[in-house]
Amino acid sequence: MRLAELARQSGVPRSTIKFYIREGMLPAGEPRARNQATYGPAHLERLALIRALREVAGLRLEVVARVTAQLDRGFDGDPIGEALLAIHAPATSERAKGDAAELEKLRAEVYELMRGLPWTTGDERHFFAEEIAGTLLQVRQYLYPDYPVAALLPLARVAWLLSEVEFEHAPGGPRVPLRARRDDLAEPTRRAILGSVLFERIFAALHRAANSMRSIRISEELPVPPADAPAKEPR
Amino acid sequence: MRLAELARQSGVPRSTIKFYIREGMLPAGEPRARNQATYGPAHLERLALIRALREVAGLRLEVVARVTAQLDRGFDGDPIGEALLAIHAPATSERAKGDAAELEKLRAEVYELMRGLPWTTGDERHFFAEEIAGTLLQVRQYLYPDYPVAALLPLARVAWLLSEVEFEHAPGGPRVPLRARRDDLAEPTRRAILGSVLFERIFAALHRAANSMRSIRISEELPVPPADAPAKEPR
DNA sequence: TCACCTGGATAGCTGAGCTATCCATAAAAT
DNA sequence: ATTTTATGGATAGCTCAGCTATCCAGGTGA
């Protein structure tokens, strides 16, 4: 199909498609002549991914570009896991918050702690350590000057538990297919990434609700049920 | 103190302070004459809150305005819990994603389910139900057309567990003081809100790391440790 | 032949979040 | 008492992200 057709089918304006191509997040069409190119279903899928990441997940274009770059690169391991990691690389302009040396020290500590967890792999590209260290630095600046890195451990346990819950309770079993063929990857990747972001948002809402309720319960001296209390049946 | 002094002490430019006053998130100074006003420490604290919410938490000004409006309003219950709830009210322009009637039905279902939880209060201002419903609608649109509302239950349990972990492991005990006097509230509120947002961010990073690692472990057929596995001691 | 389409280039638009300038007036300094 | 400085209010402009629109010379298909 050609550009106009791609625009029609995807619902994305011609000019926006060209913009995405310019930005490198959508591959250019297969050139037929100096000013003629054809696009395939892969372009449609990529467009759907970009739009979903932008509009549904609210990711910035910079992050979307990183994810698609990861998808377009060759893979050694699991492309979906890699793409999920790519979402994580910190935005370029977020550096230089406070002391760079302090940040690096903290990052190393966080990294060490993460490696001690039973579930991390030996992966070197642990962007999250950088993000966590950055946020931790802010925690120390704004809240608790001596907040220890080790205090992350219980949070990490809960995070792994949450991941287990999400994977097990996903309809139709685990979201992520085992060793799919390269060309079957676009759709599962879209679903995995979107699922990750959407459920993160839902969980964040639940989490803030829980914090609010806990705060209100404490302040109003209502009972504060323990975490293992059974849920009442709704209605 | 007067405007120039407030600007100097807070590090926020005069023009930006005026902008915040215009936007209603910073109260105007006490007028001494037609063009003379004095500002107190409350203005400094409010400025610190605004900047922290913007720069640290990355909240949009619209949300910051809601939080400060909540703080400036009279309170019946716990102002901190209220402020945390205020963070939650959905941004104005996020409506009209798909069917409004469907959304309302879903919101009611979510609300019903939340009320069945052991830890919610009878609060009517459950903005989170709206946000969750909206995201759930997207989950159904983009991932699982029949995703049941009841599948939120295990997530809600984890959210409450996380809130317990956060409150118990906060250095110096619970972050939220019980029934503080009205004028002592600015600083604890800042800490509670910032803490909530910062730890949410840290947890989100851990969560994405956990999801990535789980995906990679499944795909590479590495062992996937259960959630109750003990953490190895780091180093 | 000729209306229509193409890729590439470039310019413009919108909204968020500031930032800068002007101005009439009031306070402070001399 | 007069100059200097600061003030609040108004208004305009700036930067960045993320598009969107227009122009153009060169092809396509009827």
Q: Provide DSSP, A2-48.
A: -HHHHHHHH---HHHHHHHHHTTSSPPPEEEETTEEE--HHHHHHHH
Task: Identify the pLDDT of residue A160.
Answer: 95
Share of chain B above pLDDT 70, in %: 82
List CB contacts (< 8 A) between B84 and chain A.
208, 211-212, 215
Residue B39's pLDDT band (cuts 50, 70, 90): very high
**Bases of chain D with protein Cβ within 7 A:** 6-11, 17-22, 25-28
Residue B121 structure tokens: 């209060």
Share of chain A above pLDDT 70, in %: 82
Specify whether the CB–CB gap between B69 and B179 falls below 8 A. no
What is the distance, to the nearest Å, from the Cα of residue A206 to the centroid of all Cα atoms in its chain? 18
Q: Do A142 and B213 touch (CB under 8 A)?
A: no
Closest-CA residue of A relative to B153 is A231
Specify whether the CB–CB gap between A149 and A106 falls below 8 A. yes
Q: Do B155 and A165 touch (CB under 8 A)?
A: yes
Q: Which of A159-163, B80-84, B100-104, B231-235 has the highest mean pLDDT?
A: A159-163
Specify whether the CB–CB gap between B224 and A176 falls below 8 A. no
Q: Do B161 and A200 touch (CB under 8 A)?
A: no
> Given the structure tokens 């910051």, which residue do they identify?
B64
Q: E strands of chain A, at which residues?
A: 30-33, 36-38
Q: Is the CB of A32 under 7 A from strand C?
A: no
Alpha-carbon distances of B81 from A60, A136, B56, B117, B145, rounded to whole Å: 30, 23, 20, 18, 34
Task: Identify the pLDDT of residue B50.
Answer: 93
Cα separation, B147 vs B137, in Å, equals 9
- Is the pLDDT at A233 greater than 60? The verdict is no
**Which of the residues B208, B220, B228 would you substitute to probe the A interface, choosing the one with the greatest number of A C-beta atoms within 10 Å?**
B208
- Is the pLDDT at B82 greater than 80? The verdict is no
Which has more pLDDT, A53 or B81? Answer: A53
Any bridge partners for residue B36, and if so which?
Answer: B33
Q: Do B117 and A232 touch (CB under 8 A)?
A: yes
CA of A153 to C1' of C5 (A): 60
Cα separation, A170 vs A186, in Å, equals 19
Task: Identify the pLDDT of residue A76.
Answer: 61
Cα separation, B80 vs A95, in Å, equals 31
SS3 label, residue A30: strand
Please compute the mean of the pLDDT values over residues B204-220 and round it to a whole number.
Answer: 86
Q: Is the CB of B15 under 7 A from strand D?
A: yes
Q: How many CB atoms lie within 10 A of CB A15?
A: 9
CA of B22 to C1' of D2 (A): 35
Q: Do B219 and A143 touch (CB under 8 A)?
A: no
Residue at B217: amino acid letter: R
Please compute the mean of the pLDDT values over residues B189-217 and round it to a whole number.
Answer: 87
Cα separation, B204 vs A132, in Å, equals 9
SS3 label, residue B153: helix
Segment among A73-82, A104-113, A186-195, B183-192 with least mean pLDDT: A73-82
Q: E strands of A68-126, at which residues?
A: none
Nucleotide nearest to A14 (CA to C1'): D20
- Residue of B96, B128, B189, B181 whose CA lies nearest to A204: B128
Q: Give the end-to-end CA distance of chain A in Å, rounded to a whole number.
A: 52
Closest-CA residue of B relative to A120 is B213
Which has more pLDDT, B216 or B127? Answer: B216
- Is the pLDDT at A172 greater than 60? The verdict is no
Residue B93's pLDDT band (cuts 50, 70, 90): very low
Q: Is the CB of A30 under 7 A from strand D?
A: no
Q: Do B218 and A176 touch (CB under 8 A)?
A: yes
Q: Do A159 and B87 touch (CB under 8 A)?
A: no
Q: Do B156 and A219 touch (CB under 8 A)?
A: no
Q: What is the mean pLDDT of chain A?
A: 81
Please compute the mean of the pLDDT values over residues B188-212 and round it to a whole number.
Answer: 87
- Is the pLDDT at A35 greater than 80? The verdict is no
Please compute the mean of the pLDDT values over residues A41-64 and round it to a whole number.
Answer: 89
Beta strands B30-33 and A36-38 are unpaired
Which value, to the nearest 10 degrees, does the dihedral of the CA atoms of residues A41, A42, A45, A50 take?
A: -140
- Is the pLDDT at B123 greater than 80? The verdict is no
- Is the pLDDT at A50 greater than 90? The verdict is yes
Residue B30: its H or E element: strand B30-33
SS3 label, residue B182: helix
Cα separation, B134 vs A51, in Å, equals 17
Residue B65 structure tokens: 């305005």
Which has more pLDDT, A82 or A74? Answer: A82
- Is the pLDDT at B61 greater than 90? The verdict is yes
Residue B1's Cβ-side half-sphere holds a number of Cα atoms within 13 Å equal to: 13
Task: Identify the pLDDT of residue A219.
Answer: 79
CA of B93 to C1' of D12 (A): 27
Cα separation, A87 vs A61, in Å, equals 11
Closest-CA residue of B relative to A159 is B207
Q: Which member of B215, B226, B230 has the closest CB to residue A80?
A: B215
Cα separation, B76 vs A162, in Å, equals 35
- Residue at the smallest CA–C1' distance to nucleotide D27: A35
Q: Which of A153-157, A172-176, A192-196 has the highest mean pLDDT?
A: A153-157
Q: Which member of A153, A204, A225 has the closest CB to residue B200?
A: A204
Task: Identify the pLDDT of residue A171.
Answer: 64
List CB contacts (< 8 A) between B205 and chain A.
88, 128, 131-132, 135
Q: Which of A115-124, A174-183, B110-119 has the highest mean pLDDT?
A: B110-119
Which has more pLDDT, B83 or A93? Answer: B83
